[in-house]
Amino acid sequence: MVRKRMTAKRILCLTSTFPRWVQDSSAPFVLNLIHDLKKLGWQVDALAPHAPGAAIEEVLHDIPTRRFQYFWPPEQQTLCYRSGALINLRKQPSDYLKLPVFVLAQIAAVLKQLRRKKYDIIHSHWLLPQGFSGTAGSLF
């Protein structure tokens, strides 16, 4: 049997947690998933929220990574990272006001990324809000 060589397919991975820099311990499971997909021949880009001190765009751990800004100034981007979004919201209930802005910024970032590159799959690592953002982005 002759096996056809699979051409690499492209995946856009949406997540609310991703390492912010080398040596960052945030969300190693997302990083590990992407590395495993790459070993299987997939081309994977990560799209995650920005955090103070993180680059907007870089290749991190051999993964093309874009981070969208969702609040200004950047020091106010406090929904994700640290303890995780749900715990952060419990600690700072006023951050609930940032959620609609976060979702709209993520949808805009997905649409922008889809204009830049063609993807075969949009992988939303979390149902909310990435599932919503990925679905909204795929409709356009």
pLDDT digits (tens, 9 = 90+) for 65-96: 999 999 999 998 988 887 778 888 899 999 99
Rounded distance between C-alpha atoms, residue 109 and residue 115, angstroms? 10
For 14, the enclosing helix (H) or strand (E) is strand 10-14
Q: What CATH architecture applies to the domain 10-138? A: 3-Layer(aba) Sandwich (3.40)
Task: Please determine, for residue 2, whether its predicted confidence score (pLDDT) is greater than 70.
Answer: no
Full-model pTM: 0.88
Instruction: For residues 53-68, give the mean pLDDT.
Output: 96
